[in-house]
Chains A and B, each alone.
Chain A
Amino acid sequence: MIAEAPRLASVESEAAHKVHARLEGVTRVYPPRAGHGEVHALGPISFDLRAGEFFSVVGPSGCGKSTLLDVLAGLAVPSAGTVEFEGKPVRGEVPDGVGVVFQEDASFPWLTVEDNVAFGLRRAGVDAAESKRRVDFAIGFMGLRDFSRAYPSQLSGGMRQRVCIARTLVLQPRLILLDEPFGALDQQTRLLMGDELLRLWRETSATVLLITHALDEANLLSDRIGVMSARPGRFLDIVETGWPRDRDSRLAERADFGAVTSRLWSYLRGESLRALGQGMAAR
């Protein structure tokens, strides 16, 4: 999939949108435990992820964004509702073709960059020559060529996150889920990583779902942005940005860029205040 020519279509009719993953009435409720009662963390949420789109989810902290990703990835089982990926139900197991990148550093400190990137290929049953080709490509693509024999401890946080992205890339995922992958990085690095993410998205033609708390980042990167309410998280609205497929961080210079961010914030201001209140009450 990585080697495939980039998709040329940037303008598609509404009817042409193929559903890649579908959530229907998904909720997630945590059973009562010592100290607190039942926690309704998420939903009900229903939405379709379109094939090849860049979709971001923004929402106040604690609204269940990460839970949504876990459910979609098959890392968590929904309490009610169904999740489908490519027409097949997802339940408690990560489907083939889904790659996930987390906010925390998930590189293996005992493996070199090269071995980190190749980690999943042994399991995937890819032959040695093909493995090497894919690893070389992913390392080159993420700009890690000079560090392929280095260990993660020798790299910066941004570089380690690239290692994790490259590790996902070699498996040629058709759906890439990113849980605040740049959350721990400084602002400049975030912008650059965002550009790289856009390039990756264009060149692999994978579907991307990004969880983020940065409204500018969501605006810049996405075709559509799902705005979530305070807990239990539901979509208040799904905002279509209408940005061209061939875009990068210079998009922020456009006159209409700010309008989208403002719109996101107008939704989120009240919800963030509510979430803040929930946090205070829980304490």
Chain B
Amino acid sequence: MSKAGWIRTLLLVGAVGALELACRTGAIAPTMVTAPSKMVTTLVETLRSDEIGMHLRHTLSAVAIAMSIAIVGGFVIGFILNWVPFLRRAFSPFLAAYYAIPHFAFYPLLIVIFGLGPVPLIVLATLFAMVAMILATMAGLDRVPRVLLKTARIHRLSLIEEIWRVRLPAAAPHILSGLKLAVAYSFIGVIAGEFILSTSGIGHEIAFAYDNFDNPRMYALILFVLGIVTLFNMAVFAWERRMLRRRGA
């Protein structure tokens, strides 16, 4: 393991160990935080119960739908805005200010429009995630070196070929970073929405445990969400690394 890797591991193990110790000795009351070991054992129990599978399915399917729409839609919109300069000029102030909007304030409105169910969650998460993808796609396409486009012309590529064989691969690193953000934002959108108001899903379960002072269960579920998101992120990260390593980045 590298030096940085050792430090990272030490930090993580140290923090968890310190928390465990503080909880066991009573320095931190169990009504505040439960010990990490307890989080794990409660998580195992919770996962054994059958209803958690249903909540997990609801959450993950909402995330998957929002993520797909955000990534595909964000890419297409980003591409069009990059291609048509006057559209881009028209929309760029909105895009620049977009993440200043508190999206979750609109969640009640979405429930009024779409009813209480998966749809407002998906809409919320999509709105939250898509613009990151739009911005990354535009940034990536902006940075395609002009000499590569000239090279495409010299090879007399058709427009489709130019896009497929030159523009997209050249823009890929930026687009991929947008994709990573879109993944993270989709999770945040769905789980936070569930937390605010929902009838099912992991976020709802966390909120439910919280409302009932069921600390062990609440922490177990938080740990669970953390685990899932980390796993997902690591998969995308590994894919990105494999691609970028070849380019010497």
Contact = CB atoms under 8 A, between A and B. Distances in A.
Contacts of B172: 110
A104 B247 contact: no
B147 A104 contact: yes
B155 A102 contact: no
Contacts of A105: 147
A108 B169 contact: yes
B214 interface: no
A151 B249 CA distance: 11
Interface string A145-170: 00000011110000000000000000
Nearest to A171: B155
A104 B148 CA distance: 9
A102 B161 CA distance: 21
B154 A153 contact: no
A98 B153 CA distance: 12
Contacts of B166: 108
Contacts of B151: 102, 106
Interface string A67-79: 0000001010000
B151 to A, nearest CB: 5
Interface residues on B, range: 20 to 34
B171 to A, nearest CB: 11
Given A102-B147, A110-B169, A94 B248 contact: no
B156 interface: yes
5 contacts: A100-B154, A106-B147, A106-B150, A110-B169, A151-B247
A235 interface: no
B157 A94 contact: no
Contacts of B248: 109, 151-154
Given A99-B154, A151-B247, A154-B248, A123 B161 contact: yes
B145 interface: yes
Contacts of B165: 119
B153 to A, nearest CB: 6
A108 B148 CA distance: 8
Q: Is the interface of A mostly helix, strand, loop or mixed?
A: loop
Given A75-B153, A109-B248, A151-B247, A104 B169 contact: no
A119 B166 CA distance: 10
A123 B147 contact: no
A109 B150 CA distance: 15
A-B pairs, 5 with minimum CB distance: A153-B248, A104-B147, A120-B155, A109-B247, A106-B147
Interface of B: 145, 147-148, 150-151, 153-157, 161, 165-166, 169-170, 172, 243, 246-249
Interface of A: 73, 75, 93-94, 96, 98-100, 102, 104-106, 108-110, 119-120, 123, 151-154, 171
B37 to A, nearest CB: 46
Contacts of A108: 148, 166, 169-170
A123 B156 contact: yes
A110 B161 contact: no
A94 B247 contact: no
A123 B154 CA distance: 11
A98 B161 CA distance: 20
A123 B247 CA distance: 24
B147 A94 contact: no
With a 10 A CB-CB cut-off, give which of B172, B246, B249 has the most chain A CB atoms.
Answer: B246
A75 B161 CA distance: 18
A104 B156 CA distance: 19
Contacts of B246: 110, 151, 153
A82 to B, nearest CB: 20
Nearest to B145: A104
Contacts of B150: 75, 100, 102, 106
Contacts of A102: 147, 150-151
Given A110-B170, A171-B155, 9 more contacts: A102-B147, A102-B151, A104-B145, A108-B166, A110-B247, A119-B155, A119-B165, A153-B246, A153-B249
Contacts of A94: 153-154, 156
Contacts of A106: 145, 147-148, 150-151
A97 to B, nearest CB: 11
Nearest to A70: B150
Contacts of A99: 154
Contacts of A73: 154
Nearest to B148: A106
A153 B148 CA distance: 16
Contacts of B170: 108-110
From A104, A110, A119, A171, name the one whose CB has the most chain B CB atoms within 10 angstroms. A110
